[in-house]
Structure formats: C-alpha cells, structure tokens
C-alpha cells in the first residue's frame, strides 16, 4: 500500500503538511510553504514544525533539498532532508537550496526524509535518549548513587521490528513521507 500526500506548488500563501511522526512520545507534524519563481520551479521552502501531543519539544536543526533525477539525468522530483532534535528551540527553518532554483514536474514526487540528531549524552538531566540507546535496570554504586546499564540500540531487545544493519540510528520508525506534486 502506498500512502501519498499532495503538494500544490501553485499555493505560495499557505503551509502544507508534508510529514508527520512521533519521537520521544511526542506527535509532531512538519509543514512547508513553497516559493516558485515560475510554475514548478522551486526557489525556496520554508519549514515549520508543530509539536501536538507529548512532553518533549522537538525542533528542526537543519534541512536541505536534493533533486532526484532519472537515468537520463532529467529531474523527476526531489528530497527534503530534515534533521530534528529533542529540546531544540528552532521551530522554523529555510531549506538550504544551495542557491539554486529546481524544477519539480507536475505529478513528480517530493519525499521528506527525517533524521534525528543524537543527544549529547544517553541520560541528561533526567531525559533518556531512547531513540539511540537502550537501558535496562539500575545498580547501586559504591558512592550510594545508581549506575545504569546503558547500551547502544542495535537492535532493541524487546522490539518487534528489525533495525537497519548499519548500526545505531535514531528514529528508525516512520523516517519518510512521499508527496505528489500537483
């Protein structure tokens, strides 16, 4: 089953939903406003992230656009690569277009690839980065505190899915969306 959204490139007034997911127990959506210099020629993309439900605020650290070409080197769509991070304060970002204007043909696709930035430590001020680490239990140390058994998340022991073989990566569930250009 293909689940595909739609993007109206002719609508340069409104932000359109292009991606939704959940990380750290927070449901969020990313919206985009496209600026086109001519029909189907994208010159700028303004992204906004909205956190709807959950305790952790997720922000956008950076985003860039990569055109997709076919075997004849003709542009058939593109990818917006968005990096998000828990507790990041930036909720709006302009996509790095590399100073170029890109064709995006009618009925082509713009895919969103979401990446997650790792926290500086597995456990930081009571927040545990469960997108990159797995923990199981506590042990009392010689100073009367607790040591945790923390390991990289490859794979998660109680998981019903298989992680990619390349090793520890965060946000492996729902990392992409696909949107048809109208």
Mean pLDDT (10-residue bins), the chain, 182 residues: 88 95 95 93 96 96 93 91 95 93 91 91 82 70 60 48 44 78 92
* Predicted pLDDT of residue 160: 41
Contact 174, 22 (CB under 8 A): yes
Task: Please give the pLDDT value at position 78.
Answer: 93
CA 52 – CA 63 distance, rounded (Å): 21
Q: What is the pLDDT of residue 33?
A: 97
pLDDT of residue 149: 64
Length of the chain: 182
**What confidence score (pLDDT) does residue 66 get?**
93
At residue 161, the pLDDT reads 38
Contacts of 124 (CB under 8 A, 6+ apart): none
In whole angstroms, what is the distance from residue 92 CA to residue 116 CA?
A: 16
């Amino acid at each position: 089953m293909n689940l595909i959204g739609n993007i109206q490139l002719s609508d340069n007034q409104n932000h359109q939903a292009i991606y939704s997911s959940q990380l750290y127990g927070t449901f969020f959506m990313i919206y985009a406003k496209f600026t086109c210099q001519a029909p189907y020629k994208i010159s700028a993309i303004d992204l906004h992230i909205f956190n709807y439900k959950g305790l952790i605020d997720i922000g956008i650290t950076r985003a860039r656009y990569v055109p997709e070409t076919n075997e004849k080197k003709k542009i058939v769509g593109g990818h917006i690569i968005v990096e998000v991070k828990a507790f990041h304060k930036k909720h709006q970002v302009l996509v790095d277009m590399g100073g170029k204007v890109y064709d995006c043909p009618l009925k082509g696709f713009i895919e969103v690839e979401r990446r997650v930035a790792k926290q500086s430590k597995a456990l930081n001020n009571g927040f545990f980065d469960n997108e990159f680490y797995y923990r199981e239990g506590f042990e009392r140390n010689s100073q009367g505190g607790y040591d945790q058994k923390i390991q990289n998340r490859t794979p998660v022991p109680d998981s019903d899915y298989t992680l990619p073989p390349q090793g520890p990566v965060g946000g492996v569930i729902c990392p992409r969306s696909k949107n048809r250009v109208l």
